[in-house]
Amino acid sequence: MSAIATSPDGLSPDEAASRLRARGRNVLSPAKEVRWWEVAAEEITEPMILLLLSIGVLYSILGEPEDAVTIFAVIAALVAVEVRNELKAKKAIQALNALSQPSAIVVRGGREAEVPVEDIVPGDIIILDRGGRVPADARVINSRGLAVDESSLTGEPLPVEKDSRAVGDVPLVERTNMVYTGTLTVRGLGRAVVVATGMDTELGRISALARGERPPRTILQLAMKDLTKWMVVLALAFSLLVPLLAWLLNGQDPQTMVLTALSLAFATIPEELPIIITMVLALGGYRLSRQNAVVKRLQAVESLGAVTAICADKTGTLTENRLEVREVLGPRRELLALASLVNHARASREGFTGDPTDVAILEEASREGVDIDGVREREAVISEMPFDSVLKRMSVTVSGPEGRREIIKGSPEAVLGACSSYKRNGETEELDDGAREEISRRMEGMAARGLRVLGVAEGTAAGTTFVGAIGLFDPPRREAREAIDAVIGAGIRPVMITGDHPLTATAVAEQVGLPVGRVLTGEDVDTMDDAALSEEAGSVGIFARTTPEQKLRIVKALRARGDRVAVTGDGINDAPALAAADIGVAMGQGGTDVAREAADMVLADNNFNTIVRAVREGRKLFANLTKGVRYYLACKVALISVALAAVVVQLDVPFTPLQIILMELFMDLGASAAFVAERAEGDIMRLPPRDPRASFLNRRMIISIFASAVGLFTAVFAAYYAAWTGYGDVVTAQTTAFATWLVAHVLLALNMRSERQPMYLLGPLSNRTMVAWGVAAILFAVLATEVPFLHEAVKTTSLPPEMWALIIVLSIAGTFWMEAVKAALRRNDK
C-alpha cells in the first residue's frame, strides 16, 4: 500500500478530493458536451430541412426577393425551434445517463461510504461484494470466497477465484490478486486497493468507446420514420396537383402556381414528426427520473403505457425492507449468535449496514447482549458457500474453541430437511417424524402471521442439528395499498413473485390489497410444462418459494399469454427475467449492478408506488404524442383540402405562397411544443392498457384526423367562399382565409388537448405553453390584417367587422363541435 500512498483506513476525504482533481474522473471517455452549434449543424443537414432550403432557393429565383427573405427567416425560426427542442432532448438523455451511473462502497478515513464510481481515485479501498461491478482496477488485500466473472475482459467464461497472494509477472488471465474495471463479483467478499482509474485501466486501454453515441431509435421512432417517407411522397404529390389543376382549370399564372406548389410542399412536408417523438420520449424519461424512476432506454418510455401485468417482489417493493426480529423459535441467544456468523452485515458508526435480514439479526443479537465482535473473533470464518437458489440456503465453515463447524441459514423447510437432530431445552435430540412435523407446524404458524422465517442449523462431524428459527417482520409500505388499487383500476394485474413462504406472501398480499387468486410454489411451477404454466399464470396472484429460473419461466409464460409484463428484481439471478420482460425494473437501493444493467428502468427508492407513477407518466407521454401527431396531420390534411377544393370550384388558391409558409410556422410550433406540455387527463389511470400490437395510426386515429380536418377545412373554406362571393376581391378573400386558419387552428388545438374530457374539466389555461402559442398566433392574425405596413409584407388587407364576426363564428363552429361530442359521451358514461 505504501507504493500508492494509502493505508487500511483508506484515503482521507481531502486527499481523495485532491487526487480526483489531479487524476480526473474515473470514466472511460469524458461525456461529450452538448453544443448548440453542433446540434444546429446536425439539424440543418437533415434531409427534410435541406428540402425546405431547396424550396427557399427556388422561391428566391422565381419569386419576390422580400418574400424569399421571409421564407428563409421562417426556415431559420423552424430550425431554431428544432435546435432548442433537440438540445432539451439531448440534455435530458445526458442527464439520464448521469443519473444511471452506479456507485461503489469505499473506505475513507476508516469509514465506509457510498460514492459515485466516477469519483473513485487511486489509493481508495473498495469493498467487493457479490453482485457488484468492479469500479476500477485494484489489488486484492483480503478476501473471503471471492470470485469474479472476467468474461467481459478476457473472454474466459468461468469465474476466477481471487485472493491477496502475490503472483509475479503473469498474463492478465492469471492475475488472481487483481480485479478489473467492468468485471462482476459473482460470489464472496473482499477488499482491494485501487491502482488505476478511467483510461488508465485495462478496459480503458483496450476499449475504443465511441463518443457522443446516439441512443438507439425506438420502435415508434422507426415507425414514424417510415410514415414520414410516405407523407413526403403524398405531400409532394398534392403540392404539384393543386397548382397544376389551378393552371389547367382556371388559367392562373404559371409562375405564381410554381411558387404555390413550392409553398404547399414547404407546409405539408412533415419535418417535425421525428423531433416531436424524440422530445416526448426524452423529456418524459427525464421527468420520470425526477420521480425516482431512472429510465435507461427510451424504449421503456413508450412501452410503459401498455403494461398489462406487473410482477413485483414482496420484500422492499411492497414492504419497507426494514426488517426486525419478531419471534424466535429455539434458544434465543445461541440462535442469534450463530446467525451473526453466517452474516454479511457490518458495523459502522451509524449502526449496522448490509442486507436488511442480516442487519435485523445483528441488531436483535446486540439487544440480547451478544458480543458480536467477540463471537466473530472466536469463530473465524474459513470458507463460505454463498446462497444457492436451488438449495435455498447458505453456509459458512468456522473454526473456533469447539472445533470446525458449519453454520447453515436459509428457508426453514430447506434447513430442516438437511438435519438429522434438533436442539431441545439445551440438549441435542434425534429429529424423528413427530418432532419434524411439530417444528414445521410452528414455523408455518410464524409464516401465517406474516413473518419471514429463517431456519438456522449447525453441522459437525456427528451430523447436522436444527437449532431453531428466526421470524422477521417487514411491514408493508403505507402507500402500497393505494398503489395496488391504482394498478387494478388501470386494468393492470399485479402479481407477486417471491422466494418467501406461501403463507408469509399471502399475509402481506392481504395487507396491501393484492388479489391473491391462486397461490403456486416453485415446486408447482416445475411440475408444469410451458403451455400449462401459461394457461395457469392468468389466475395466479402469488408465486411463492420461487427461484430466479422459475421467475424467468413465469415471465415468459405471462408474455406467451399476450401480457405486456413489467418485472422487478435486484439480484444477479434476476437479470434473465429482467431482460426477458417488456419492462425490466431494477431496485436502486441494495440492488446489484448486474440487475441494473439488465433492466430498462431503475427505481431509486425501491417503491412500488414509483412503478405506478411511471406507468401513469408513460400513458401520459403516449397520449400527448398521439394528440400532437393527430393535430399535426389534421392540419396538413385540412390545408391540402382547402387548396384543392378552391381549385376544383374554379377559385384562386385561398392562400398566397408566403401565407402558407407563415401558417406552417405556427402549425409546427403548436405540434412540437404545445402538446408536449399537456397534463394527463384525469381518467388516464382508469383506462385499460393500450394494445402494444396495435398500429400507431389505427382506424380510430385516422377517423379522428379526418374528422378534425373536416371541421378546420369547413371553417376556412366557408369563410373564403363568403368573402369571395361577398366582395369579389381575391386579396380580401385570401386575407379572410388566412385569418380564419390562424384562429381556427388554435381553437382546434385547444379542443384536441383531450380525447375524452371537456375543456372546462382540464382548465382552459392549464397548458401555459399552448396558451402562449395560441395568443401569439391570434395576435399575429390581427396585426397582419389591421396594421397597414404589414399588408404588403404578408399580402393581406384590412377586414370589416362583419368578416371578423364571421371568422369567429365559423372558427368556433368548426372546432367546438368536438366539445359537444365529449360532453355527450361523458353524460352517457355517467
Which residues partner with 3 through β-bridges? none
Amino acid at 805: A
Give the integer Cα–Cα distance in Å for 454 and 456. 7
Provide the grid cell at 158: 468461468
Is residue 593 flagged as an active site residue? no
Amino acid at 241: L
Give the integer Cα–Cα distance in Å for 281 and 83. 16
Provide the 10 A C-beta neighbour count for residue 21.
Answer: 9
- 406 CB-near residues (< 8 Å, 6+ apart): 395, 396, 397, 398, 458, 459, 460, 464
Provide the 10 A C-beta neighbour count for residue 728.
Answer: 9
Give the integer Cα–Cα distance in Å for 329 and 318. 26
Residue 100 three-state SS: coil
Phi, psi (rounded to 5 degrees) for 406: -110, 125
Per the document, the length of the chain is: 830
What are the helix and strand counts (H, E) for the chain? 30, 25
**HSE (CB half, 13 Å, CA atoms) of 187?**
16
Residue 696: exposed, middle, or buried by beta-carbon count in 10 A (0-12, 13-18, 19+)? Answer: middle
Amino acid at 802: E
Q: Where are the alpha helices (DSSP H) in 427-529?
A: 433-448, 480-489, 502-512, 522-526
738, 793 in Cβ contact below 8 A?
no
Residue 189 three-state SS: strand
Provide the grid cell at 367: 439487544
Amino acid at 46: E
Active-site residue (options: 313, 358, 500, 652)? 313
397, 363 in Cβ contact below 8 A?
no
Amino acid at 780: F
Pairing of strands 493-497, 540-544: parallel
Residue 461: exposed, middle, or buried by beta-carbon count in 10 A (0-12, 13-18, 19+)? Answer: exposed
Q: Which helix (H) or strand (E) holds 329?
A: strand 324-329
Provide the grid cell at 493: 394485474
Give the integer Cα–Cα distance in Å for 822 and 825. 5
Phi, psi (rounded to 5 degrees) for 350: -85, -5
**HSE (CB half, 13 Å, CA atoms) of 412?**
31
645, 594 in Cβ contact below 8 A?
no
128, 189 in Cβ contact below 8 A?
yes
Amino acid at 334: E
Phi, psi (rounded to 5 degrees) for 710: -60, -40
- 299 CB-near residues (< 8 Å, 6+ apart): 216, 218, 219, 600
Q: Measured in whole angstroms, how far is the alpha carbon of residue 153 from the centre of its chain?
A: 29
Amino acid at 545: R
Q: Measured in whole angstroms, how far is the alpha carbon of residue 59 from the centre of its chain?
A: 45
The dihedral through the CA atoms of 644, 646, 651, 652 has a sign that is negative
Residue 324 three-state SS: strand
Give the integer Cα–Cα distance in Å for 393 and 755. 54
Give the integer Cα–Cα distance in Å for 646 and 448. 77
- 760 CB-near residues (< 8 Å, 6+ apart): none
What residue has cell string 458495523?
347
Q: Which residues does the annotation mark as catalytic?
A: 313
